[in-house]
Amino acid sequence: METTARETRETPEMTVQLTIDCSDPQRMVAFWAEALGYVPEPPPAGHATWRAHWVAAGVPEEELPPGAGDVPESIVDPSGRGPRVWFQQVPEPKVAKNRWHFDLKVGGGREVPLEVRARRVGETVERLVGAGATVLRIEQDPDTGFCAAALRDPEGNEFDVV
């Protein structure tokens, strides 16, 4: 049997990181850790901060904005299932609607009674408003069984709770 070049070279395992541009990584870490049930990612072993790690890895100081890496700028799923989320500080503000968004699925799906889903969505919305979200709209249609809330995170990025 003949082997191909693809079969003989090592293919590293792919991981996924979601990178979100923002002006205040610390605020976004706190909000999205709460929203997703994630935790701030600690720096690699042997380094007090991410900045210390980056400098040790050879990133020139002039490429690191003031404060970058002094506190965690990424969050991780404590179960290890979800992707790492990195909040990258950028100088420009958000100016348009997202082309993507998170759907936080807390209702349990359409097999769960609408009143239960509505309660779950409402409780999550209340918790996230307390963490800094803004409600855009809440929709509930008994005829179709639809129940969702559209919100904005502290920097104006839209997301849904369903």
Express the helix, strand and coil content of the chain in percent, nearest 5 each. Answer: 25, 25, 50
Q: Quote the CA–CA distance of 66 and 130 in Å, as a whole number.
A: 29
142 within a domain of the structure (yes/no): yes
Predicted confidence band at 8 (pLDDT cuts at 50, 70, 90)? low
pLDDT tens, position by position, 78-116: 999 999 999 998 888 888 888 889 999 999 998 999 999
pLDDT tens, position by position, 114-155: 999 999 999 999 999 999 999 999 999 988 989 999 999 999
Residue 7 has a pLDDT of 56
Among 25-34, 61-70, 106-115, 138-147, the range scoring the smallest mean pLDDT is: 61-70
Q: Quote the CA–CA distance of 157 and 104 in Å, as a whole number.
A: 14
pTM (2 d.p.): 0.84
Q: Report the chain's mean pLDDT, rounded to a whole number.
A: 91
Over range 75-80, report the average pLDDT. 97
E strand or H helix that includes residue 159: strand 158-161
- Both 25 and 89 in one domain: the answer is yes
* 39 contacts 76 by C-beta, under 8 angstroms: yes
One-letter amino acid identity for 137? R
Residue 9 has pLDDT above 80, yes or no: no
- Both 109 and 72 in one domain: the answer is no
Domain end residue (candidates: 93, 111, 131): 93
Domain end residue (candidates: 61, 93, 125): 93
Residue 1 has pLDDT above 90, yes or no: no
Residue 24 sits in which domain range? 15-93
Residue 108 has a pLDDT of 94
Q: Name the percent of the chain lying above pLDDT 70.
A: 94
E strand or H helix that includes residue 131: helix 114-131
Name the domain count of the chain. Answer: 2
Domain end residue (candidates: 50, 73, 93): 93
- HSE-CB of 35 using CA atoms within 13 angstroms: 27
Q: Quote the CA–CA distance of 48 and 40 in Å, as a whole number.
A: 14
